[in-house]
């Protein structure tokens, strides 16, 4: 599971990042999520002129949820450079919605080399999730 050099994952990340629509930020990001069934869902950031675009992680999670799946096993994120391109605050909450204790979030550099791995507690400590709404 923790194979940072998995060529299929890296190829999918590079491909989806290259399809990002980022004419305003010039910061293309790709995400690949692996669901409970093992299906891969990819997403890229898609910007719009009024700057309220959608992040790559949100795009990939929306694809997974739209397919009827509700559990993230792995989340992979790739940015354009060598720096950590970590999920933003909004995406951390979106990941949290579909994560469990086993979910792993991995950020790779622009070439696909693993930079950092998180579990949900590290990514969003003391997070608020669906069970917090239970009476
Ligand atoms: Zn985001």
pLDDT in tens, 18-38: 999 999 999 999 999 999 999
Binding-site residues for substrate, please? 45-51
Q: Tens digit of pLDDT for each residue in 55-73?
A: 999 999 999 999 999 999 9
Distance CA 104, CA 95 (A): 10
Q: What is the CATH number of the domain that holds 113?
A: 3.40.140.10
Tell me, what DSSP letter sits at residue 77? E
Structure confidence at residue 4 as a pLDDT band (50, 70, 90): low
Closest-CA residue to 29 (of 38, 40, 20): 20
Give residue 120's domain range. 7-130
Distance 94 CA to ligand 1 centre (A): 9
Judge whether 86 lies within some domain: yes
* Catalytic sites, residue numbers: 57
Say how many domains are in the chain: 1
2 lies in a domain? Answer: no
For residue 69, the CA-to-ligand 1 centroid distance in Å is 20
Residue 8 alpha carbon to ligand 1 centre in Å: 23
Domain assignment present for residue 135? The answer is no
Whole-angstrom Cα distance, residue 131 to residue 44? 29
Is the pLDDT assigned to residue 98 strictly greater than 80?
A: yes
Reported confidence tier of residue 2, pLDDT bands at 50, 70, 90: very low
Q: What is the chain's mean pLDDT, rounded?
A: 95
What pLDDT is stored for residue 134 in this prediction?
A: 80
According to DSSP, the β-strands at 30-35 and 40-44 are antiparallel
User: Binding-site residues for Zn(2+), please?
Assistant: 55, 88, 91
Decide if 61 is inside a domain.
Answer: yes
Residue 110: predicted pLDDT: 96
């Amino acid at each position: 599971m923790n194979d940072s050099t998995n060529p299929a994952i890296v190829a999918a990340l590079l491909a989806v990042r290259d399809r990002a629509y980022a004419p305003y930020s010039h910061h293309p990001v790709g995400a690949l999520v692996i669901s409970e069934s093992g299906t891969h869902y990819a997403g890229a950031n898609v910007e719009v002129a009024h700057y309220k675009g959608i992040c790559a992680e949100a795009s990939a999670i929306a694809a997974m949820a739209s397919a009827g799946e509700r559990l993230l096993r792995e989340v992979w994120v790739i940015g354009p450079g060598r720096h950590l391109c970590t999920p933003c605050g909004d995406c951390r909450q979106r990941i949290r919605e579909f994560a469990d204790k086993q979910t792993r979030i991995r950020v790779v550099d622009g070439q696909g080399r693993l930079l950092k791995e998180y579990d949900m507690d590290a990514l969003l400590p003391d997070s608020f999730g669906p069970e917090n709404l239970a009476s």
